[in-house]
Every structure is written in C-alpha cells, then in structure tokens.
C-alpha cells in the first residue's frame, strides 16, 4: 500500500515537473548578446561589446569571423543586408546585395535558346559582384565606434592560426569534397589533400588571412582593388566568368530606409527591396491581424490554414511586383504593406477551404538552405539584424586561388528565362530579370521589432524563400502564442510559397490529426526536413534582460553574452 502510494506521488511529481518544465529556457544576458551559427564567431562579437563596442562594431567583427569559421555561408565573397535600430534615432538598412556584372544580360542563362540550370547556378557565370566587404564598411563608417582594423583583426587570427573544426563543420566539409574537386583551390583550402577534415582538427586558411589583412589595412580597396581584385579577375577570365576589375571597383553598398508595419501594436522594422523579405513579412502579418490566432492556438489546423493562405497571397505578389528598386521604379510598396490591401486579401480567404494557386501563374525554383543570420544587441540596446549569404552552401564552391575565399552563386536568384513561367519551377517575370549593375531579388528578412518606442525583438534566418515564413513564425510565436525566445525558435515550422501549391511542414513539427484536418480543407501537405536556422533575441524590458533563442536545427551555433 505504502509502495503504491509512493509510486502515485512520484508519478504526480513527474507529471508536475514535466508540466512546469515544458518549453526551453532562453539564454540570458544583460550587457549584450550575439547569436550566430558559430560559437566562435558569437564570442568574437561579444568580446567587441564587452570592450565597449556597439552593435554595428560587433556585427562587423562577427561577420568577418563567420567568413572564417562558418564557410558554408559566412563570407566576404557574397552579400546581404543589415537592419540597424539604434537605441535612439531612426532605423536604417544597409544593402550589400551582389550585382550583375557589366556584361550580364537577361538571356545569359540560355544555351541554344534553352534555359540551362547549371550555367545559372553552378558556374563562374553564376557569381555576382560581391557586396559584403563594402556593406560592412559602410555600416561601420556610419555607425561604428571602434577602429576598423581592430574589428577585422580577430578574423585574421582565426584564419592564420586556425580554429578547431566542429563535428558539424567536419560533416559539412566532407559532404562537399566531390564539389570542391572541381576547383583545385577549393579542395586545397577545405580538405587535407583530398581527405576530409575531422572534428578536432585545426583548419588554417593562410590565403584568406592575407586577404583579410589587405581589407584591414586598406578598407574596401583591399578587396575591390589591387591584388584581391586582380586575383578575382584572373579566375574569372580563365574560366569564362564575367566579373572584371572594373565591375569590382564600381561596386557600391547602399544605405536605405526600412519597411515598417504595425502588428497588434508592435512596430515591425524590416528590409526593403531588393529583398522581398520585409514587404512579405509585413503583408502576411497584416492579413493575419484580422484573425484571432491566440484563440485558435499554436499549431491548430485552423491557424495553419489562415497562415498558409496569407503566405500564398504574399508570395504571388512577390513574384509579380518585386525586384531591384533602382531598376524597377514602380514597385507599389505602400499598397503592398497597407492595412486596406490586407483587408481585401483577407476577404478572399475561405475559413474552411484551401484556395488554389493558379497553375499558369508564378512558381519558383528551389534554393538550398544555406545563408546565415546574426542577431545582436549591445549595452545601450542598439540592435542589429543581419542576414548574409553565398546563396548555396559554399556558394559557387569556387575559392579564388591565392585569395582564399569562396565566391557566391547569387546570380541564380535572378529569373532564368525572360517570359517563361511554368510548373517546373521557372519564373520569367520582368522585375527580376538579369541586368548589369542590378541586384537580384532576395528573400532575406532581417527584422527588428519595437514596442512603445523600446526594442522588443530581433529575428532573422537563412532558408531561401522559407526565410520569410520562418521569420514570420518566430514573430507569431512570441506575440500571439506567448512563447519565449527559445520556444519560438524550437517550435515546428511551416511554409507556403504560392506555387508549388502545398504546405511544407517540418518533420515532427505538427500532429498527424492536424495534417488530416488540413488535407480535409483541400491542402496538400508535404513533410520535409528542417526549415531555417533562426536567431532570436527578445528584450525583456521589465528585467532589463536579453533572452536569446538559438536554433539547434543546424549543427553549430550559439549565443554569447553576459
Ligand atoms: O537571397 C536569397 O533570398 C537567397 N539567395 C538566400 C539563400 C538562402 O537562404 C539559402 N539558404 N539558406
């Protein structure tokens, strides 16, 4: 009897503690926090904050460190976006998206009149003129406080002296060896004479250290002119690529405004074109604001239905309207992010039935989930949300011989064949056709949220087109479903992008009954792998505490802070 009572008590305690402990605890810090996909890089960034640097200083140092320790996506040969919200003053963005070289043209992806996937995505032609170094320098010039050289220095050391290869990086590099074999400098840099690095090995990148030293000493000229530019041009000339020293010298990063929305009283601040990210996130939120998501509950079929329908509509508009604003002068941004427009869209959603995406309309090519995001808040609560990318994992897989860094394959984000939009995933609409000096359309959505004039949340993720929907769900998870930063990152994710007409869900993300209910409404539901790698910081104003959610879907990653 006593034994039985004992077990009942134990069982009750277990149940209680389970209930109490449901959900994960976020990382916590007061002074500042940096979250990235590389522990080492996060630490580099936080050291900058600890020594009195601000969020932009930390972003610069962290981004250069990631170019060494997270070569999958961290880069100096790619591009991206920073959204910066200073503790006081107006938020701004820095656009360092790659551009088409001067000899690029809308038809350059055709071979004998037919679209050629490999040329578009896996060739020297797929490389856009890189923007990262110019972008980091512009942000630093405008808002940094520490000497440039001091911010580049940690990455030089990491490249020259090496760092310990993690299990995740070892696996990732091993899987890429067949690709690296196409490019001798890539194989030399990322393998031991063709044999894979193992966890615990030290990876040194001497050529990269030299390039970073030129960047530290000369600023952007150390990349866009002189020796580095000459090495890039030489690689291009020898392999049919288009980028010239003139293209490199002409590259300019741009300071832009931000896209602003208001969702249930929270100010949403995100990236404008040439990214579609900010507009799409705000548009979807505006549509969803008219539904009581809180009452529906996280993960309910009803809420997934509403969310998927809102996503479907935003992605259709993305394909129709969005491209580089310096080329496409008529993008109707105010309309797309207006509450009235969202109200109209909401009225077209049947609460019980899936809409159908028109099959003769837009569809999208696939993208690999390899980009990387940094969320940073400093002691004064300045915040940086930065996403940058090489496009595919390891970009074009081409290491510039003698310069030690990977080139992007971002030209693949331009539309493939003018006028050809079809079921197989081609899109040929005008706003995103390839042109010299033009930025290819992105989905990156570095986002910052404020409430009552104070910082509330920093969020962003990699993941190609799923970026928009992953960022969106981290926002819904915190604002509507009351999750903490870690719970918001951990929760299962879903995706709809108009065409192909289906809801993608993460494996183990939602229950079998939920999927059945969605199917009964007419949705096609497809289970897939991980969606994104979000890095989220929520600022708990009451306790003056930064709470971080680190995405454990990818192998590495971590929050640094104190
Ligand atoms: O700019 C874009 O939207 C894509 N090039 C991003 C690619 C990406 O996120 C791949 N992986 N995560």
Q: What is the pLDDT of residue 429?
A: 82
| Cα–Cα nearest to 434, from 97, 79, 104 | 104
Interval between CA 213 and ligand 1 midpoint (Å):
28
Nearest ligand 1 atom, CA 440: 1
Binned at pLDDT 50, 70 and 90, residue 295 comes out as very high
Q: Which atom of ligand 1 is nearest to the CA of 97?
A: 1
Ligand 1 first shell, C-beta below 6 A: 367-371, 389, 391, 410, 413, 442-444, 462-464, 467
Strand-pairing partners, residue 449, are 268, 457
The fraction of the chain above a pLDDT of 90, given in percent, is 88
Q: What CATH number is given for 259-367+443-534 in this structure?
A: 1.10.246.130
Q: What is the pLDDT of residues 390-412, one digit of tens each?
A: 999 999 999 999 999 999 999 99
Site to probe by mutation for ligand 1, drawn from 467, 469, 533 as the one with most ligand atoms within 8 Å of Cβ, is 467
Please report the pLDDT score of residue 140 as a whole number. Answer: 99
Per-residue pLDDT of 416-437, as tens digits, reads 989 876 655 567 788 999 999 9
pLDDT tens column, 156-173: 999 999 999 999 999 999
Provide the β-strand partners of residue 195. Answer: 192
Query: What is the 277 CA–ligand 1 centroid distance (Å)?
Result: 11
Ligand 1 atom 8: the closest Cα is on which residue? 464
Give distance in angstroms: CA of 131 to centre of ligand 1: 15
**Which contiguous run of DSSP H or E holds residue 504?**
strand 503-506
| Nearest alpha carbon, ligand 1 atom 4 | 464
Positions annotated as catalytic residues are 371
User: CB atoms < 10 A from the CB of 99, how many?
Assistant: 28
pLDDT number for residue 428: 78
- Among residues 239, 214, 240, 209, the alpha carbon closest in space to that of 229 is found at 214
Domain ranges of the chain: 27-255+370-432, 259-367+443-534
Which range has the worst mean pLDDT, 93-97, 422-426, 490-494, 514-518?
422-426
Taking CA atoms only, the protein residue closest to ligand 1 atom 6 is 464
Adjacent-strand bridge partners of 533: none
Cβ neighbours of residue 2 under 8 Å, at least 6 residues apart? Answer: none
The span from the CA of 336 to the CA of 316, in Å, is 12
**Cβ neighbours of 472 (radius 10 Å):** 28
Burial class (CB in 10 A: 0-12, 13-18, 19+), 333: middle
Are 218 and 128 spatial neighbours (Cβ–Cβ below 8 Å)?
no
CA distance 447 to 376: 11
pLDDT attached to residue 1: 33
Whole-angstrom distance, CA of residue 176 vs CA of residue 171:
9
Q: Picking from 2-16, 70-84, 230-244, which range would have the lowest pLDDT averaged per residue?
A: 2-16
pTM: 0.94
> Contact 397/180 with Cβ under 8 angstroms?
yes
Q: Within 10 A of 145 (CB to CB), how many other CB atoms are there? A: 12
Once rounded to an integer, what is the mean pLDDT over residues 268-289?
A: 98
DSSP state, 553?
S
Per-residue pLDDT, averaged over 337-358, amounts to 94
> How much distance in Å is there from the Cα of 410 to the middle of ligand 1?
8
Pocket test for ligand 1, best of 443, 461, 495, 554 (most atoms within 8 A of CB): 443
Query: Residue with the nearest Cα to atom 5 of ligand 1?
Result: 391
Nearest to 361 by CA among 410, 329, 323, 318: 318
Tell me, in angstroms, the distance from the centre of ligand 1 to residue 348's CA.
30
**DSSP readout, 387-409?**
EEE-SSTTTTS-BPTTT--BPP-
- For residue 53, pLDDT beyond 50: yes
| The two three-digit tokens of residue 181, written as one number | 């074999």
Q: Give the per-residue pLDDT at 14.
A: 37
One-character DSSP codes across 540-552:
ETTTTEEEEEE--
């Amino acid at each position: 009897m006593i034994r039985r009572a004992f077990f009942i008590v134990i069982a009750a305690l277990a149940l209680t503690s389970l209930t109490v402990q449901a959900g994960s605890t976020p990382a916590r810090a007061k002074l500042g926090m940096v979250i990235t996909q590389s522990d080492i890089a996060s630490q580099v960034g936080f050291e900058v904050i600890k020594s009195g640097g601000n969020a932009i200083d930390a972003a610069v140092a962290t981004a250069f460190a990631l170019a060494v320790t997270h070569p999958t996506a961290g880069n100096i040969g790619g591009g991206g976006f920073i959204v910066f919200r200073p503790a006081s003053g107006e938020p701004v963005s820095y656009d360092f998206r790659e551009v088409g070289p001067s000899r690029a043209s809308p038809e350059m992806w055709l071979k004998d009149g037919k679209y050629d996937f490999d040329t578009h995505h896996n060739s020297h032609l797929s490389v856009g003129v890189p923007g990262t170094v110019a972008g980091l320098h512009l942000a630093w010039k405008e808002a940094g406080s520490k000497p440039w050289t001091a911010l580049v220095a940690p990455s030089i050391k990491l490249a020259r002296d090496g760092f310990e290869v993690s299990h995740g990086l070892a696996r990732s590099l091993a899987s890429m060896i067949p690709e690296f074999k196409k490019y001798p400098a890539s194989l030399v840099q990322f393998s031991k004479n063709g044999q894979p690095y193992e966890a615990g090995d030290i990876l040194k990148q001497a050529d990269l250290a030299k390039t970073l030293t030129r960047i530290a000493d000369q600023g952007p000229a150390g990349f866009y002119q002189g020796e580095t530019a000459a090495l890039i041009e030489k690689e291009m000339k020898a392999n049919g690529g288009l980028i010239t020293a003139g293209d490199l010298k002409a590259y300019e990063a741009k300071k832009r405004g931000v896209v602003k929305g208001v969702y249930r009283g929270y100010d949403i601040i995100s990236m404008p074109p040439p990214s579609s990210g900010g507009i799409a996130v705000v548009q979807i939120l505006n549509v969803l604001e008219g539904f009581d998501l809180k009452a529906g509950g996280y993960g309910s079929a009803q809420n997934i239905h509403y969310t998927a329908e809102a996503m479907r509509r935003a992605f259709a508009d993305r394909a129709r309207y969005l491209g580089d604003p310096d080329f496409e002068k008529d993008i109707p941004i105010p309309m797309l992010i207006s509450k009235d427009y969202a109200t109209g869209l909401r009225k077209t959603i049947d609460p019980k039935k899936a809409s159908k995406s028109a099959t003769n309309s837009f569809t999208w090519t696939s993208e690999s989930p390899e980009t990387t995001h940094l969320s940073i808040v400093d002691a004064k609560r300045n915040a940086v949300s930065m996403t940058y990318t090489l496009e595919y994992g390891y970009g074009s897989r081409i290491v510039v011989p003698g310069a030690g860094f990977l080139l992007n394959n971002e030209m693949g984000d331009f539309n493939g064949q003018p006028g050809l939009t079809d079921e197989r995933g081609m899109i040929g609409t005008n706003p995103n056709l390839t042109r010299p000096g033009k930025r290819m359309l992105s989905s990156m959505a570095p986002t910052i949220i404020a409430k009552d004039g104070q910082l509330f949340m920093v969020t962003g993720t990699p993941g190609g087109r799923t970026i928009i929907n992953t960022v969106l769900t981290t926002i819904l998870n915190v604002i509507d479903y009351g999750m903490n930063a870690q719970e918001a990152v951990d929760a299962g994710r879903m995706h709809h992008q108009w065409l192909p007409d289906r809801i993608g869900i993460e494996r183990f993300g939602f229950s079998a009954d939920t999927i059945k209910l969605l199917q009964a409404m007419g949705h096609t539901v497809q289970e897939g792998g991980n969606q994104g790698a979000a890095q989220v910081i929520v600022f708990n104003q009451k306790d003056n505490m930064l709470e971080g959610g680190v995405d454990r879907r990818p192998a590495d990653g971590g929050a640094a802070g104190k």
